[in-house]
Amino acid sequence: MQNNQRKGIMLILSSPSGAGKTSICKKVLETDKNLVMSVSYTTRPKRKSEKEGKDYIFVKKKKFDYLQSTNFFVESAHVFDHFYGTPKNFIEKNISEGKDILFDIDWQGAQKLVDYSKNDVVSIFVLPPSNKILLERLKKRNEDSEEIVKKRMSKAKSEISHWIEYDYIIINHDIKKSAKEVKTILDSERKKRIRQKFIFDFIDKLTKNLVPENKLFSPLN
């Protein structure tokens, strides 16, 4: 790590399904070269719009269980009859190199990441403008059955109840505007003193040859 490089941030976006967090993530990634997406492992089937290795790493339940038994995941969750897990080595490598990681995960995963490395986490909860719009967005995706859509809507209240556990709240009226809000939060968090690992050495060098104020002038006789 270079001496002027800060430690990386774990930026979490959570929301009820259909609130738009995945679309926001994609927009933010387009504008920030120092931000990388955490790619989770999952046992659920791949959707038509998803790409292997980019959106998720799709594995069978047996493989997922094996990886979990070897402590491969820093967090894992059981959501809508499927399992999701975040690989530990990916996080440790990028954080130590000063890379920020973007997580598109639910509140369960967010809690586990906070337990894992609280000082490195910045969490944002994304809310829909209304229940009506949430339902419209779920149907518009046209990737889930009517039964799954109903399950997601029925679980929304429980998911939204965890909003108070997050650092920031965004109401997603517009994807572009919400992405800008996320970017503003990220830029601000990057400047926090706790993340500036180089600052102590920098301050020492900056002040080394400065003369203290009380020695600038000789006392009058």
Return the bridge partners of 125, or none: 14, 169
C-alpha to C-alpha distance for 64 and 85, rounded to whole angstroms: 8
Both tokens assigned to 146: 């009517």
Give the mean pLDDT of 158-181: 95
Please give the torsion angle defined by the CA atoms of residues 14, 20, 21 and 26, in that order, rounded to the nearest 10 degrees: 170
Q: What is the DSSP letter of 52?
A: B
Enter the pTM of the model: 0.80
**Residue ranges with strand state E in 6-120:** 10-14, 35-37, 40-42, 56-58, 73-79, 82-87, 100-104
Q: 10-38+99-205 domain in CATH 3.30.420.10?
A: no
**What does the domain layout of the chain look like in residue ranges?**
10-38+99-205
CB neighbour class for 62 (10 Å; exposed up to 12, middle 13-18, buried from 19): exposed
Please provide the average confidence, as pLDDT, over all residues in the chain: 88
Placement of tokens 């594995």 in the chain: 59
pLDDT per position as a tens digit, 130-146: 989 888 888 877 677 78
